[in-house]
Amino acid sequence: MSNNKIKVNFFIAVIVGGVVKANYYANSLAVIPDLKLDFPGCELEVYDVSRYGLDFGNAPTIKVEGGQMLHRVRCRETGKTWDSVKECCKELGLSLKTLYTALRRGSRIYGFTYDYFD
């Protein structure tokens, strides 16, 4: 991944049963339907943070509209490829959060490692 800063416009808190289960930073509200699928019955609190110029460092940032969510994914061990993160998640039965975290950290899912590729 490049060192380019991702311009983040929204802070999204995922609340399930009155408890914050996850926080995300995104450049578009297009991620909301996927978050609702990943966290059934959740409430979302969305804040526009563009005017604050905040730096989120290594926080889980979701970039859509031509960014990481649309990049192709490859399994290192099998060589199988998918045209998008979402397609990979559907086929493997993973939540977007699980695969995104593994891609970011280089960690394994069910013994396999996944990477972005062009």
Per-residue pLDDT at 58? 58
Per-residue pLDDT at 81? 93
Kindly state the helix (H) or strand (E) to which residue 33 belongs, with its residue range: helix 32-38
The residue among 34, 12, 39, 36 whose CA lies nearest residue 85 is 34
**What are the CA-CA distances from residue 97 to residues 14, 50, 109 (Å)?**
12, 23, 12
For the entire predicted model, the pTM comes to 0.46
Give the DSSP letter of residue 53.
Answer: T
Is 65 a residue whose pLDDT tops 80? no
State the distance between the two ends of the chain, measured CA to CA, in whole angstroms.
11
Q: What pLDDT, in 10s, does the model give residues 17-56?
A: 778 878 888 877 888 888 887 788 888 888 887 777 666 6
Per-residue pLDDT at 68? 46
Delimit the domains of the chain by residue range.
Answer: 10-62, 71-117
Q: What pLDDT, in 10s, does the model give residues 72-81?
A: 889 999 999 9
**What are the CA-CA distances from residue 9 to residues 14, 25, 61, 65 (Å)?**
16, 7, 10, 13
Per-residue pLDDT at 79? 94
The residue among 68, 88, 86 whose CA lies nearest residue 78 is 88
